[in-house]
Amino acid sequence: MSMKSIPAIIPETGEGYSKFSFFCDICDTQIDNLGRAMAAWEPGEATDVYHVHKGKCLDALDKILDTYLLTVEACDLPIFLLRDLGLTRYEPTYAAA
Q: What is the pLDDT of residues 34-82, one digit of tens each?
A: 899 999 988 888 888 899 999 999 999 999 999 889 999 998 888 888 8
Q: How confident is the model at residue 96 (pLDDT cuts 50, 70, 90)?
A: very low
pLDDT at 84: 83
Q: Are the C-beta atoms of residues 49 and 9 closer than 8 Å to each other?
A: no
In whole angstroms, give the CA distance from residue 64 to residue 86: 35
Residue 61: predicted pLDDT: 94
- Check pLDDT > 70 for residue 3: no
Q: Rounded to an integer, what distance in angstroms lies between the CA atom of residue 12 and that of residue 32?
A: 16
- Give the residue with greater pLDDT, 65 vs 10: 65
In terms of pLDDT, which residue wins out, 80 or 7?
80
* C-beta neighbour count of 82 within 10 angstroms: 13
